[in-house]
Amino acid sequence: TEIYTLSLHDALPISRLPELIELANRSIDRAVALNGNSVALHHAAASVANTFRKNQQALDEAGRCLALDPAEAECALYMAGAYDGLGRLNEAEKMYLKAIELRPNQWLMYNRLGSFYYRHARYADAERMFRSTIQTASWNPLGYNNLAGLYLATRRFAEAADLLKTSNGLRPTASGLSNRGTCFFYLGRYAEAAAEYEKATNLEPRAHEHWHNLGDAYAKMPGFALRARACYRKALDLIVEQQRTAPAQEDFAIEALYRAKLGDLAGAQRALEEAHITNDNPGLRFREARVRELTGDRDGALRAIGEALSGGFSRNQVEQAPELERLRADPRYSKIVTK
């Protein structure tokens, strides 16, 4: 199952996104040609590029915006996200901190930096940022849910459950319901996990991760193998659609995992190669390990786990991953985790 902190809320039909991106970019280009010194226009251009993961374009436009107005905190966020997408992690962290400096009372700034730390296995720093998110916006369920996701990743199930109760009490969200389902999943209560994941798919039917999690729960329930496969297929279809409009390194690794669970070993290996995973991203190394184990590459899976753990990835998450259950019985695994 997947524990995650931020989800993309995509209200537009995927098939229309390419034409909408082109339309938005053309409109911005015309406006910039008329007035190239407009902060609002460069802000808008950076926002569009950031949304659709055009990292270099987002970096350029946000830089122009900040040159004209150094107090534009949102453009600092756009630059941070672009640096992150380009693998320039030190610069990304500096820009996230700059955004917080500009808007110290805005919860979003802390939440974005917390998510950055979480993705790069800096869990203590992530916890500090998510607590700041809650402190600056106690009414917002997102901070509670994200901190709960972190607790799930570090096997603090009771604390996670308490936070998710608060989060869903404020306002039920798909991510909150899904993370609550993950609490049940790791407690071995698979039918209850499936019920929460089903609620999450109802709230966000285009979020591939909810369908994947639901498939994992069904896969643990006798007589539900066909339902599990249907959920994995739905998750794969959604991530492939997303890749057509906004391809990303992480999404290729996700696609590889879904293909592996459907038995498409060649497709999984092909997608994994497209991800171009490096040791700068221990989270992707962990995902790679799961794909390699499912495709029969035990040596590659062990190597990827070692690299993920060396990069600071949580051993707890490795210990919880259902795809790695047999691998964890391999004597070589014990040697890796006790280094």
Q: What percent of the chain has pLDDT over 90?
A: 57
Query: 28 or 101: which carries more pLDDT confidence?
Result: 101
State yes or no: pLDDT of 121 exceeds 90: no
- Check whether 298 has a pLDDT greater than 80: yes
Q: Which whole-number Å values give the CA distances from 269 to 238, 254, 274, 276, 290, in the listed order?
A: 19, 12, 9, 12, 12
* pLDDT on residue 17: 47
DSSP of 216-260: HHHHTSTT-HHHHHHHHHHHHHHHHHHHHHS--HHHHHHHHHHHH
C-alpha to C-alpha distance for 62 and 42, rounded to whole angstroms: 7
Residue 54 predicted with pLDDT over 60: yes
**Is residue 42's pLDDT more than 60?**
yes
Percent of the chain with pLDDT over 70: 89
Cβ–Cβ < 8 Å for 288, 269:
no
The Cα 155–Cα 137 span in angstroms is: 25
